[in-house]
């Protein structure tokens, strides 16, 4: 539970940094109220990916890409479980192929860096990848807002 709490706090810090807002180290432990919805969103995401992978690999990958920002949406917008999953799905709707490419590229770079550093690189890359996820979430949020504004 402590790891999840720190992860949510790290997401809050990274979200604030991507918005150009100040962030403090004390925010690492400030997401206690979000822990239960985060666990619920994580469980539902994992189950959805597992079912999708069992049915056929592609639906599992599509579902994983669609819900990858659920915890960021939960923290950034103070959403509940289903709303966070829906928001992530909405944000990624038109960008899943790009997200697949970026995730594969980051995974390969992370694997290469981890092998070269004999595993130590993963300690350095975990926060860096979480920050990159926050940047992608921030970008998708702005893209979605821009598209909604054009349709009206």
Tens-digit pLDDT profile for residues 55-102: 888 899 999 999 999 999 999 998 999 999 999 999 999 999 999 999
Q: What is the pTM of this model?
A: 0.84
Tokens found for residue 149: 């504004």
Given a contact cutoff of 8 angstroms between Cβ atoms, the answer to whether 79 and 73 are in contact is yes
Given a contact cutoff of 8 angstroms between Cβ atoms, the answer to whether 86 and 78 are in contact is no
Tokens found for residue 144: 């979605």
Which residues, 6+ apart, have CB-to-CB distance to 100 below 8 Å? 61, 65
Tens-digit pLDDT profile for residues 1-43: 567 767 888 888 999 999 999 988 888 777 766 778 888 898 9
């Amino acid at each position: 539970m402590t790891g999840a709490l720190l992860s949510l706090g790290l997401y809050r810090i990274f979200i604030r940094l991507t918005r150009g807002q100040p962030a403090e180290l004390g925010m690492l432990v400030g997401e206690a109220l979000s822990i239960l919805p985060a666990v619920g969103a994580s469980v539902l995401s994992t189950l959805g990916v597992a079912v999708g992978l069992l049915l056929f690999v592609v639906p599992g990958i599509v579902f994983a890409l669609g819900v990858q920002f659920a915890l960021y949406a939960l923290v950034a917008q103070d959403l509940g479980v289903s709303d966070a999953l829906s928001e992530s799905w909405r944000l990624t709707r038109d960008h899943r192929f790009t997200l697949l490419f970026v995730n594969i590229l980051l995974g390969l770079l992370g694997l290469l860096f981890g092998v070269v550093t004999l595993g130590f690189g993963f300690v350095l890359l975990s926060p860096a990848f979480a920050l990159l996820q926050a940047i992608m979430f921030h970008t998708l949020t702005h893209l979605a807002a821009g598209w909604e504004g054009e349709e009206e």
